[in-house]
Structure formats: C-alpha cells, structure tokens
Amino acid sequence: MANFGEILSNISVPAGQAVRRNAGNTAFEAYTPASGGSFVGCLATRTTNQNIGTTYTAMTFPSEVWDTDTMHSTSLDTEKIEINTAGKYAIFGAVEIPEIDNVPVYIRMLKNGSSVLGITQFQRANLASNIQGGVPAYAFADLVDTDYVTMEIKSIAGTTNYQGFLSVYKIG
C-alpha cells in the first residue's frame, strides 16, 4: 500500500492546473479548472515521519506540490500556510495514521495558531497489523491577507510517527 509520500511525490501539476480524483476514483490526476479566474492555492506536504505526542503538535511541511500565491515556505515556519489574497477558503489536510489500534488520534485546523476551524477524531478498530490508513480533515473559513492556517495532531498513544499534507484553495 502506498503511503502519502509515495502518492504525492508522483503527482505532477503544471502551472494553472489543480488535482482531483479520476473518474474511476482510483488515482489522482491533474486537470485544468474551469475558466473565470485564476486559481489560488497551496499544497504543502510531509513525506517523512514526524514524531507526534500526547499534546497537540503542529505538523511541519518541508515540501510543496504547488503554491500559486507564495503562501508557504519550505525553509521558515513550514507549519504555516499564509494567506496573501483575502477570501473564502477550503482547507484540507490528511494524516497517515500508524498501525495502532483502539487509540484516538485528533487532527485540528487552526487559524492564526489559536482559533479552531475544524477538528477530526479517528480511532482504528482492530485492523490487520499491516494496514495503515489516512484520516482526512477539512474546514472552510473567511480569511484575510494577514491570516495563516496550521494543522495540529495529537495521539493518546504517545509519540508516534506521522506523514501528511495541508492544502488551501480560494473558493470565493
């Protein structure tokens, strides 16, 4: 089974295009969004493990697949996606959950490091020992050009390794 890093590293997105699931829902593909405006968005990724403990910890994203509005740095404050164009945004993220059964994992999206935009809780239930899963999280927010978004994770199991991504898309 491919992990997030393997999936994301195989996506090539030319300028002006976005990513979606294909018609058969079997893979990701690049496509050209409908005309009527320029696409504003960013997809920041973590393809190596980050240790997460029992308190909320911001996931850092040392690489990106695309960034159309200089929203993310791969060297400074890599946990943040900074808004440069005010508007309504869809915020999506996902975390690859390690093989730990019956232990809750929490993912939350934050605006400016403190305002909770959304929270997701996931708990594996006695799955086969070699199955990992990805947990999606999302939020929608009206953001201004001084705001930033982060994604934090905590695991009741204690320190474990996680990979994932965080993305924002201007929708209005």
Task: Please name the helix (run of DSSP H) or strand (run of DSSP E) that holds residue 67, with its range, or none.
Answer: strand 63-67
pLDDT-derived band of residue 155, with 50, 70 and 90 as boundaries?
confident
Whole-model pTM: value is 0.76
Q: Which two tokens stand for residue 160?
A: 């474990």
CATH topology of domain 39-170: Jelly Rolls (2.60.120)
Q: Is the pLDDT of residue 13 over 80?
A: no
Residue 76 pLDDT exceeds 90: yes
Report pLDDT digits (tens) over 118-130: 998 887 665 555 5
pLDDT at 114: 94
Establish how many alpha carbons lie within 13 A of residue 130's alpha carbon, considering only the half-sphere containing its beta carbon: 2
Q: How far apart are CA 59 and CA 50, in angstroms?
A: 7
Name 136's bridge partners: 94
Residue 3 predicted with pLDDT over 60: no
Check residue 128 and give its pLDDT: 57
pLDDT confidence of residue 86? 95
pLDDT of residue 95: 86
Asked if residue 141 lies in contact with residue 121, where contact means CB atoms within 8 angstroms, the answer is no
